[in-house]
A and B are shown apart, each in its own frame.
Chain A
Amino acid sequence: DGGITQSPKYLFRKEGQNVTLSCEQNLNHDAMYWYRQDPGQGLRLIYYSQIVNDFQKGDIAEGYSVSREKKESFPLTVTSAQKNPTAFYLCASSTSIGNEQYFGPGTRLTVT
């Protein structure tokens, strides 16, 4: 059953803690993305990766970090430097940059 998975669906953390969100795809896609969505707002790009071992900052990369050591995995770490981390985080993949994107189910992160 091919697709893109994110875990966990809900995540709760205390302020000041780093947290890592998982994203895995078995679609053999080269490109992967992380977006943040806040209520009533569109998707904002955090980071994207076109190939393994390469990634680029999006519009709101500050306070976040990523790695792309394997083609199928693109984890996102929300660091304590991110001022407003509570949001809905979406991971996506595509065959290459600019093609249709396949999204995971999202992780809702709440930091208190």
Chain B
Amino acid sequence: SQKIEQNSEALNIQEGKTATLTCNYTNYSPAYLQWYRQDPGRGPVFLLLIRENEKEKRKERLKVTFDTTLKQSLFHITASQPADSATYLCALDRNNNDMRFGAGTRLTVKP
């Protein structure tokens, strides 16, 4: 069956460090993968989209990689700040019909 796994339920890091979140998938052949941020009690907010033919995408302090051989995406936040604390979700398209979301990783950046 198709599965999306995000590396851990929670990740705690110190301010200024780089946060690295992992999204692994099985039995998918996604054309693209997306990352979202969700704050408590609110809807997710789109951050980045990376296509299968792109190895890496950057946006300000964010970087996403997409390895279709390993079936994995890594999401990096450099120079992390307490304001980056949130839950981060990865999402994959499924046969171009709809998106499926991972359960998310809750990131806490401590000052």
Residues of A with Cβ closer than 8 Å to B?
Answer: 33, 35, 40-43, 45, 48, 56, 58, 88, 90, 92, 97-106, 108
Residues of B within 8 A of A35 (CB): 101
Q: How many A-B residue pairs have CB under 8 A?
A: 58
* A98 with B32: CB separation less than 8 A: yes
CB-CB contacts below 8 Å: B3-47 with A: 4, 9, 31-32, 34, 36, 41-46
Q: List 4 tightest A-B contacts by C-beta distance, closest first.
A: A103-B43, A42-B103, A98-B93, A43-B101
Residues of A within 8 A of B31 (CB): 98
**Most chain A CB inside 10 Å of its own CB: which residue of B49, B93, B98, B101:** B98
CB-CB contacts below 8 Å: B41-70 with A: 41-46, 49
Check B79 for interface membership: any CB of A closer than 8 A. no
* B43 with A90: CB separation less than 8 A: yes
* A103 with B101: CB separation less than 8 A: no
Shortest CB distance A79–B (Å): 22
Residues of A within 8 A of B91 (CB): 101
* B96 with A98: CB separation less than 8 A: yes
Query: In the assembly, what is the distance between CA of A98 and CA of B52, in Å?
Result: 13
Query: In the assembly, what is the distance between CA of A102 and CA of B45, in Å?
Result: 7
CB-CB contacts below 8 Å: B82-103 with A: 89, 91, 93, 96-103
- Residue A106 contacts which of B4, B41, B102, B103 (CB distance < 8 angstroms)? B41
Query: In the assembly, what is the distance between CA of A41 and CA of B49, in Å?
Result: 22
Closest to A45 in B: B98
Once A43-B101, A92-B43 are accepted as A-B contacts, the answer to whether A97 and B89 lie under 8 Å apart by CB is: no
Shortest CB distance B4–A (Å): 8
* A58 with B44: CB separation less than 8 A: no
Residues of A within 8 A of B49 (CB): 99-100
